[in-house]
Amino acid sequence: MNNTRTVETASSQAINHSTVSKSSLWADIMSLIKIGIINSNLITTFAGFWLALHFTGSSFIAHWPTFLLTMVGTAFIIAGGCILNNWYDRDIDPVMSRTQTRPTVTGTISLSNVKTMGIVVSIVGFLLLLFTTVEAALLGAFGWFVYVILYTMWSKRRYTINTVIGSFSGAVPPLIGWAAIEPGLRLEALILFLIMFIWQPPHFLALAMKKKDEYKAANIPMLPVVHGFGITKRQMVVYVACLLPLPIYLASLGITFMIISGLLTAGWLVLALAGFKMKDDIKWATWMFLYSLLYLTILFPLMVIVTLPY
């Protein structure tokens, strides 16, 4: 009887260990691909895809295979870039609290495997986008190149303008979605690009303010680290103000979109200006960061909602 119980206990422990290992591996993969970044970028990719259908008078049902290829291909090419970003940043990630649990830091996945995974996933993403349009695939490759080469490997550790350089890659997904339907793009597609391009600096500068000490310890020349909070606040205000006129160019989406987008941007500008009065800079930066997330998750789904067929 005791032997039977011992075997059962050992078997149970082995199953539990296997379950924990699988769970841990899945968590490591999600950390490597930066699932939060992928999800937010897929929102803008879908918006670009949907609006291209809207402006060209095309049917979603007729293009659902293209939709699947676009979304999966975009997710893969972004994931590949994020994996390679983790691989390259393995020396500075141990310094920052939000990156200390990445598998490239803990060693749960070997660096060679991480590098190979990043390259393979990137190639798969590019090939999937090639099955939509060449333009969509080239836009995906451009975004990958900017993020991995120009941002991660070149500017991130050298210049305070690294945030702006990285913003080019973050602004590409809506163009990928649009180009999968209409390769030639149009003004509205470029406005989506500009919205995402301008949205990113105040979003990431708010995070940089919150994590100033960690960026300083990692020797990353973020704007708040090099020039302080005052200049950072002024730049954030300028970026948010630049968002104000952009909805005008999307007037064809209707009055509801114009009003909500205008109020949303004006609210963000008011909050940005309030930073010059608030004494607690970190609290203000937290509010700015959260508002930027709210802005993105309302604005792009709103573009889809106001163009739904009735």
Q: How far apart are CA 179 and CA 286, in angstroms?
A: 35
At the top level of CATH, which class does the domain 33-305 belong to?
Answer: mainly alpha
Q: What's the confidence (pLDDT) of residue 101?
A: 77
Closest listed residue to residue 76, CA positions, set 114, 119, 117, 125: 125
Q: What's the confidence (pLDDT) of residue 95?
A: 79
For residue 209, what are the contacts with CB-CB under 8 A and spacing of at least 6?
Answer: 224, 229, 232, 281, 282, 285
Q: What's the confidence (pLDDT) of residue 149?
A: 97
Q: How far apart are CA 157 and CA 46, in angstroms?
A: 32
Q: What's the confidence (pLDDT) of residue 3?
A: 53
For residue 226, what are the contacts with CB-CB under 8 A and spacing of at least 6?
Answer: 160
Closest listed residue to residue 83, CA positions, set 118, 116, 109, 111: 118
Q: Give the three-state DSSP class for 154.
A: helix
Q: What's the confidence (pLDDT) of residue 26?
A: 82
Q: What's the confidence (pLDDT) of residue 106?
A: 83
Q: What's the confidence (pLDDT) of residue 99?
A: 75
Q: How far apart are CA 91 and CA 60, in angstroms?
A: 45
Q: How far apart are CA 125 and CA 77, in angstroms?
A: 4
Q: What's the confidence (pLDDT) of residue 16?
A: 47
Residue whose entry in the numeric block shows the structure tokens 């798969």? 124
Q: What's the confidence (pLDDT) of residue 310?
A: 72
Q: Mutual orientation of helices 281-305 and 187-210 as an angle, nearest 10°?
A: 160
210 and 220 Cβ atoms separated by less than 8 Å: no
Could you read off the pLDDT tens digit of each residue along the chain, which spans 310 residues? 445 444 444 444 444 444 445 568 888 888 888 889 999 999 999 999 999 999 999 999 999 999 999 999 999 999 999 999 999 998 888 877 777 778 888 888 888 999 999 999 999 999 999 999 999 999 999 999 999 999 999 999 999 999 999 999 999 999 999 999 999 889 999 999 999 999 999 999 999 999 999 999 999 999 999 999 999 999 999 999 999 999 899 999 999 999 999 999 999 999 999 999 999 999 999 999 999 999 999 999 999 999 998 7
Q: What's the confidence (pLDDT) of residue 48?
A: 98
